[in-house]
């Protein structure tokens, strides 16, 4: 902490000193997650950030050390905080009616749900079935509901409604899955939307699963990043790795061919491994290096911490075929763009 304060002092930033003092030991002292997320957001949005720090990585290193939380966990908190703020703003009248309130009470949802894990699960349920989420909220208003019980609600919802699965896989590397496995995979796909700030360090991103149909390429999901005036600034693709990993050389070569071809249409192509049994990500990573496919990023789902970035794309240049898929998206139209 002394090193952090010394650095900030040298850069004449009393604001950063104050914020770091607030979040010091946040995990150990069980600091309210909304207050913690607010402090981190304020620093990230400060115009002084890159005067105090050489880059965002250095900032996050200090925040992790000060709070005791990983960057992943902190970004998930920030994402959930924004979901909560938008939820109360957009659904104010509906929530007031459903909760039986005579007048609206700002912050009532946070007051009822409380803990971050419960809030994150609440919004996952809300994404699939808003009325089921409201039913849960009313129940929590009346009695305590454990995290495990909320997880059970989400699992039952996904098992009961397989059509809610937000994607249709497009590649061929699959094995057989039982109901529990399928439900687990749907949760991990949903985590990509929930934790997109880990990848983009921004909320100005909308991810669409199985929404667009392209003439020359198939893809599991696309991400549209937009600027301050709403224009599309970047288009990325996501290839979901699940099921049986390729074991034969020929199958691995087909996977690499798939990666190479699909990367020619997107600024970045992210490989997202959601399996409980690991894919050979180190082998894939090495092959990508050797083949010099610079647009590739690799993400893995960790059951304990959520998304983890294994590899970041080395290039942000838009490839020759980029405009083909961009033009097709514009022709097809973008549902709820900027709000998804």
Q: Are residues 98 and 61 in the same domain?
A: no
Q: Are residues 328 and 198 in the same domain?
A: yes
How far CA 129 is from CA of 22, 125, 133, in Å, comes to 37, 6, 6
pLDDT at residue number 93: 84
pLDDT at residue number 92: 84
In a domain, 324, yes or no: yes
Q: Are residues 102 and 223 in the same domain?
A: no
Report the alpha-carbon distance of residue 19 to residue 101 in Å, rounded. Answer: 35
pLDDT at residue number 98: 85
Q: Cβ distance 281 to 301 under 8 Å? A: no
In a domain, 36, yes or no: yes
Q: Are residues 80 and 63 in the same domain?
A: no
In a domain, 198, yes or no: yes
In a domain, 337, yes or no: no
Q: Are residues 208 and 328 in the same domain?
A: yes
Q: CA Rg, the chain, in Å?
A: 21
Number of domains in the chain: 3
In a domain, 172, yes or no: no
Q: Are residues 153 and 261 in the same domain?
A: no
| Whole-prediction pTM | 0.52
How far CA 241 is from CA of 170, 265, 276, 291, in Å, comes to 10, 19, 11, 20
Q: Are residues 256 and 139 in the same domain?
A: no
In a domain, 308, yes or no: yes
Q: Are residues 90 and 185 in the same domain?
A: no
Q: Are residues 131 and 148 in the same domain?
A: yes
Q: Is 242 helix (H, G, I), strand (E, B) or coil?
A: coil
Place of tokens 């997109």: 196
In a domain, 150, yes or no: yes
Q: Is 327 helix (H, G, I), strand (E, B) or coil?
A: helix
Mean pLDDT by 10 residues, the chain (340 residues): 46 78 94 95 86 86 93 84 86 85 91 93 82 90 92 78 39 42 66 79 78 84 78 88 76 88 94 77 90 92 79 89 89 56
Q: Are residues 88 and 59 in the same domain?
A: no
Q: Are residues 325 and 185 in the same domain?
A: yes
Of residues 158, 82, 172, 90, the one with CA closest to residue 124: 158
Q: Are residues 120 and 239 in the same domain?
A: no
The domain containing residue 39 runs over which residues? 2-69
The 3 state secondary structure assigned to 33-75 is HHHHHHHHHHHHHCCCHHHHCCCHHHHHHHHHHHHCCCHHHHH
């Amino acid at each position: 902490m002394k090193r952090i304060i010394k650095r900030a002092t040298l850069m004449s930033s009393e604001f950063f000193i104050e914020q770091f003092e607030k979040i010091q030991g946040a995990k150990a002292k069980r600091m309210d997650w909304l207050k913690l997320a607010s402090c981190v957001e304020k620093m990230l949005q400060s115009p002084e950030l890159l005067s105090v720090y050489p880059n965002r990585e250095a900032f996050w290193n200090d925040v992790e050390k000060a709070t005791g939380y990983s960057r992943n966990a902190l970004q998930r908190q920030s994402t959930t905080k924004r979901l909560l703020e938008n939820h109360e703003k957009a659904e104010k009248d509906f929530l007031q009616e459903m909760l039986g309130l005579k007048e609206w009470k700002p912050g009532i949802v946070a007051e009822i749900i409380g803990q971050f894990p419960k809030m994150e699960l609440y919004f996952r349920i809300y994404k699939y079935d808003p009325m089921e989420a409201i039913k849960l909220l009313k129940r929590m208003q009346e009695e305590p509901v454990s995290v495990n019980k909320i997880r059970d609600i989400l699992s039952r919802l996904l098992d009961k409604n397989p059509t809610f699965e937000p994607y249709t896989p497009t590649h061929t590397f699959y094995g057989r899955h039982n109901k529990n496995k399928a439900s687990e995979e749907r949760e991990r796909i949903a985590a990509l939307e929930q934790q997109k700030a880990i990848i983009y360090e921004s909320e100005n991103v909308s991810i669409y699963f199985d929404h667009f149909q392209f003439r020359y390429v198939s893809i599991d999901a696309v991400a549209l990043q937009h600027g301050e005036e709403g224009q599309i600034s970047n288009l990325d693709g996501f290839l979901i790795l699940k099921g049986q990993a390729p074991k034969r050389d020929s199958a691995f070569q087909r996977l690499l061919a798939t990666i190479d071809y699909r990367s020619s249409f997107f600024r970045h192509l992210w490989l997202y491994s959601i399996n409980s049994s690991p894919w050979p990500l180190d082998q894939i990573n090495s092959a990508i290096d050797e083949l010099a496919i610079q647009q590739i990023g690799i993400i893995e789902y960790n059951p304990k911490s959520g998304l983890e970035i294994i590899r970041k794309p080395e290039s942000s240049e838009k490839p020759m075929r980029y405009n083909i898929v961009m033009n097709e998206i514009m022709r097809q139209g973008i549902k709820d763009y900027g709000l998804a």
